[in-house]
Amino acid sequence: MSLLCFIFIGSLIGWLAAILTRTENVPGIRRDIGFGLVGALISGLFANNWAFLGGLSWTALGASIAGAAVLVAISKLMLNRTSA
């Protein structure tokens, strides 16, 4: 169950980041969703003691949100730096 929650949270954070930063192109939106997904999975599973199918703790939920947001922000900063 926790794995599905992390996937949903990561995708949602990435999609919201694409909306907030006004990403117009489809590859950019997919990239934001992908980075959000990876960030949520890594940080959420780390905080949940690498339990893929176990119960979900509030700490792991918060970590997945923070991890997704941080990874999307870092990717935006790095990509804006290289394109400018």
Note the pLDDT of residue 34: 96
Query: Domain extents for the chain?
Result: 2-83
CA–CA distance, 51 with 73 (Å, rounded to integer): 26
pTM, 2 dp: 0.87
CA–CA distance, 12 with 18 (Å, rounded to integer): 10
Note the pLDDT of residue 84: 58
Q: How would you label 4-32 residue by residue, b for 16+ Cβ within 10 Å and e otherwise?
A: ebbbebbbbbbbbbbeeeebeeeeebebb
Note the pLDDT of residue 52: 74
Note the pLDDT of residue 69: 95
Eight-state DSSP code of residue 24: -
Q: What is the pLDDT along the chain (84 residues), one digit of tens a residue?
A: 888 999 999 999 999 999 998 988 999 999 999 999 999 999 999 998 888 777 888 999 999 999 999 999 999 999 887 765
